[in-house]
């Protein structure tokens, strides 16, 4: 597995990034065009470029030969490379990319002030109790949240799967890893997780 974390300037006027649009597929350009928020447009563009650039490095294929497609559920993949798996996440200027020889999922998030409400509503009872009884509930919440997001990206279900339908403390056939990273520009701490299948 290869993980790449990079920080980008999400506040650049999107018009200043227009010259980068020809580097991504037509379908992805049209999707970005429908976004009205400048920051989200930039993050979508930078995420697309990251997938292309990193896949090009991994596969030793020129960037112009890399075509990023998505399943109907939104899981990205590289056309023509069925045994090469990727996942991507972005949050507030930070991009997390991963590639692997088998299915995987990643997610990166920053702290949330309303973590108790979110955990009570969307997590299992066991997860909620462990979060609230931990020495640092806010940090434990991020661990659970990012692992859940990584898992549904691995399976390709996305948020079509209820987050309280599985417990990330029970790994089963999956392995979860959680780390933290600090933004160089804002000193904001982020939490990220990745999830992949155990080798059989």
Residues 6+ apart with CB under 8 A from 145: 107, 109, 112, 115, 118
* Residue 146 lies in domain: 107-197
Same domain? For 144 and 80 the reply is: no
Neighbours of 81 (CB within 10 A): 15
Q: What is the pLDDT of residues 139-191, one digit of tens each?
A: 999 999 999 999 999 999 988 899 999 999 997 889 999 999 999 999 999 99
Same domain? For 83 and 135 the reply is: no
Query: Residue 85's closest CA among 153, 26, 27?
Result: 153
SS3 sequence, 84-143? CEEEEEEECCEEEEEEECCCEEEEEECCCCCHHHHHHHHCCHHHHHHHHCCCCHHHHHHH
Q: What is the pLDDT of residues 89-107, one digit of tens each?
A: 999 999 999 999 999 999 9
Say what the pLDDT of residue 198 is. Answer: 86
pTM as predicted: 0.95
167/47 Cα distance (integer angstroms) = 29
Say what the pLDDT of residue 73 is. Answer: 83
Using the predicted structure, report yes or no on whether residue 200 has a pLDDT greater than 80: no
Report the mean per-residue pLDDT for the chain.
95
115/131 Cα distance (integer angstroms) = 10
Q: Which of 103, 132, 157 is the last residue of a domain?
A: 103
Same domain? For 55 and 87 the reply is: yes
Angle (CA) 17-22-25 rounded to 5° is 115
Tokens at residue 159, please?
A: 């948020």
Give the number of domains in the chain.
2
């Amino acid at each position: 597995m290869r993980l790449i974390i990079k920080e980008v300037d999400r506040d650049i006027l999107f018009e200043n990034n227009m010259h980068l649009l020809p580097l991504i597929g037509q379908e992805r350009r049209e999707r970005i065009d429908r976004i009205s928020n400048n920051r989200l447009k930039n993050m979508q563009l930078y995420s697309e470029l990251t997938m292309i650039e990193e896949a090009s490095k991994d596969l030793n294929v020129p960037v112009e030969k890399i075509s990023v497609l998505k399943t109907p559920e939104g899981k990205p993949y590289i056309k023509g490379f069925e045994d090469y798996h990727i996942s991507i996440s972005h949050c507030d200027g930070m991009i997390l990319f991963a590639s692997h020889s088998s299915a995987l999922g990643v997610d990166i998030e920053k702290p949330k002030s309303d973590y108790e409400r979110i955990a009570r509503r969307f997590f299992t009872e066991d997860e909620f109790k462990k979060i609230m009884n931990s020495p640092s509930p806010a940090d434990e919440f991020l661990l659970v949240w990012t692992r859940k997001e990584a898992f549904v990206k691995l399976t390709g279900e996305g948020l079509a799967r209820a987050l309280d339908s599985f417990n990330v403390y029970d790994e089963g056939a999956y392995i979860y890893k959680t780390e933290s990273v600090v933004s160089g520009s804002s000193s904001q701490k982020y939490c990220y997780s990745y999830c992949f299948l155990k080798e059989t």
